[in-house]
Amino acid sequence: MSEEQPKAEHRSSPTSTQFREFVASGWAPRSTELPERTEAAVHAGRRREALSAAHPGERIVLPAGGLKVRSNDTDYQFRPHTAFVHQSGLGADREPDAVLVLDPRSEQDGGGHEAVLYFRPLAPRESEEFFADSRYGEFWVGARPTIEHVQAELGIAARHIDGLRDALGKDGATLRVVRHADAEVAAMVDAVRQEVGVTAEQLQAEQEADAALARELSTLRMVKDEWEVGEMRKAVDATQHGFEGIIADLPEAVRRGRGERWVEGVFGLYARHEGNGVGYESICAAGDHANTLHWIKNDGEVREGDLILVDAGVEVDSLFTADITRTLPVSGRFSDAQRRVYDAVFAAQETGIAACRPGNKFRDIHAAAIRVIAEHLHAWGLLPDGVSVEDTLDADHGQYHRRWMVHGTSHHLGLDVHDCQLALREDYMDAELTPGMILTVEPGLYFKADDLLVPEELRGIGVRIEDDVVVTEDGCEVLSAGMPRSSADVEAWIARVQAEARR
């Protein structure tokens, strides 16, 4: 449920009976037109069938989560929990405090489960909530959907959230809940369990089963269907537009000062205009800031002659997000030292992408790319004396090359930027790649300005190249292939985009 806001109230709301009657009167009738079932909801229904088959007789509880306080009496923009989105088809910033319940049906009723969404529907105009509730009221945050609207949109039953507690306890069915999605709902589930006689020892076992459900739901997202791949294409296309907006405005980022913020703002404009927003905090790291892997302060200068590493992705309204990195020469051309580092990373990425094919394991992507990184570092004389490429690749006694690339090369991508993170190692790192998996490939090299083990001309250079790929039947497709990657193509891209912007 939503986090509690401070109780002090400094707004004045009229409370007289006369005012309440007046504010409830004189409105045009509400529209009774109902939406068609959304495409997202159709595909979510198929996913629920798989979940239902795996949990006969169990009541599955998937909370959306609630509003989180940003400061005092203002909330962050709402983002529903990923498992809820995946199984309901309800994306964007929809329905804080909602809970999707899969109710088990008896064999006489056909078996399987009935999906019911418990949520806070549109309040009547004669209610105090309508005009006085600054968190949920229609005057303040707009009209919510009716129960009938949600049923038509999602193709499932819908109920008022006030009925959730009783619904969880009916018929004594075994309960399973995604606990970390909403602590209050998890506590409610535990209370219902104890009411039907679950002991403290049994409760612990039940909570372990809850954790297994969360892992299962995470693992279910690994292979995307055709519709999900289409949503990822939309996210990648919007992200390309954002990057081209950045490129067009690089001279302004230099001229205005505090240019990392300017770059972040330009991308954010595209993300909000073409999608739901950014899929994660954008990294806009110029110069030595690129050597801080998760640089999100974005408060530095963008200077001619520097590189700027931009790691950003647009999240579309269905909440699928792209995750792309480009390292751009601010002046439009790489220096010799910058190009040397960039080309090494590009070679590693090409090898990593080639490893994205059915039959290979997920960890093979990193192994392929990091070998190329190690080979370049060895050729440049940066590994300790006497250490060969094979020596440094030894997982137990080597790994010297990881000083300059400490992160992994790949991760799953989808509704979360780091999708499927609750999956077990054997289902993730050790799993075979399967058509429909969407992955990033993102090697890098990072030479900090104060790193005395590298030549002076390389210090302060950080490069990462990241693309989103979908595994196919005979290899992979680079979804972000429209965004140039080689050093020569990046230079030509910058020249073209900036020339078009000047017209």
- Of the pLDDT bands very low, low, confident and very high (cuts 50, 70, 90), residue 9 is low
Q: What's the pLDDT at 64?
A: 98
Q: What residue type is assigned to position 410 of the chain?
A: S
291: which DSSP letter? G
In CATH, which superfamily holds the domain spanning 226-502? Creatinase/methionine aminopeptidase superfamily (3.90.230.10)
**How confident is residue 503, by pLDDT bands cut at 50, 70 and 90?**
confident
pLDDT at 175: 97
Q: Are 468 and 481 in contact (CB under 8 A)?
A: no
Q: Are 382 and 392 in contact (CB under 8 A)?
A: no
Q: What angle do CA 136, 138, 143 make, to 5 degrees?
A: 100
Going by pLDDT thresholds of 50, 70 and 90, the confidence category of residue 7 is: low
- pLDDT, average across residues 97-106: 96
Assign domain 17-220 to its CATH superfamily: Creatinase/prolidase N-terminal domain (3.40.350.10)
Which residue spans of the chain are classified as CATH 3.90.230.10?
226-502
Judged by average pLDDT, the poorest of 187-201, 253-267, 448-462 is 187-201
Q: So what's the pLDDT on residue 109?
A: 83
CA distance 490 to 103: 53
Q: How far apart are CA 416 and CA 421, in angstroms?
A: 9
Q: How far is 317 from 277, CA to CA, in rounded Å? A: 8
Over the stretch 129-155, which tens digit does the pLDDT of each residue have?
A: 998 888 999 999 999 999 999 999 999
Half-sphere exposure (CA, 13 Å, Cβ side) for 323?
Answer: 26
pLDDT at position 56: 95
DSSP 331: T
Mean pLDDT (whole number) for 222-227: 96
Residue 15 has pLDDT above 90, yes or no: no
Q: Which value, in Å, is the radius of gyration of the alpha carbons in the chain?
A: 26
Kindly state the percentage of the chain with pLDDT values over 70. Answer: 99
Q: Is the pLDDT of residue 8 over 70?
A: no
DSSP lists the bridge partners of residue 461 as 447
Distance CA 122, CA 430 (A): 47
- Tell me, what's the pLDDT at 4? 84
Say how far apart CA 426 and CA 428 lie, in whole Å. Answer: 6
The model's pLDDT over 31-47, given as tens digits with 9 standing for 90+, comes to 999 999 999 999 999 99
Q: What gap in Å lies between CA 227 and CA 475, rounded to an integer?
A: 20
Per-residue pLDDT at 106: 87
CA distances from 319 to 420, 433, 472 (A): 15, 24, 23
Asked if 435 and 473 count as a contact pair (C-beta separation under 8 A), the reply is: yes
The residue with tokens 């945050």 is 141
Q: 459 Cβ partners below 8 Å, 6+ apart?
A: 447, 448, 449, 450, 451
Q: Among positive and negative, which fits the CA dihedral 287, 292, 295, 299? A: negative
**With left for phi above 0 and alpha for psi between -120 and 50, is residue 412 left, alpha or beta?**
beta
Is residue 414 pLDDT above 90, yes or no?
yes
| Residue 418 clears pLDDT 80, i.e. is over it | yes
The tens digit of pLDDT for each residue in 470-495 reads 999 999 999 999 999 999 999 999 99
pLDDT one-digit tens code per residue, 197-224: 889 899 999 999 999 999 999 999 999 9
User: What confidence score (pLDDT) does residue 252 get?
Assistant: 97
Q: Please classify residue 465 by burial: count the beta carbons closer than 10 Å to its beta carbon, then call 0-12 exposed, 13-18 middle and 19+ buried.
A: buried
233: left (phi over 0), alpha (psi -120 to 50) or beta: alpha
Model confidence pLDDT, tens digit, residues 365-399: 999 999 999 999 999 999 999 999 999 999 999 99
Whether the CB-CB separation of 494 and 328 falls below 8 Å is answered with yes
Q: Where in the chain is the domain with CATH 3.40.350.10?
A: 17-220
pLDDT of amino acid 500: 97
pLDDT at residue 11 greater than cutoff 80: no
Which residues does 79 contact at the CB level (< 8 Å), separation at least 6?
A: 65, 93, 319
| Rounded Cα–Cα distance for residues 398 and 383 (Å) | 10
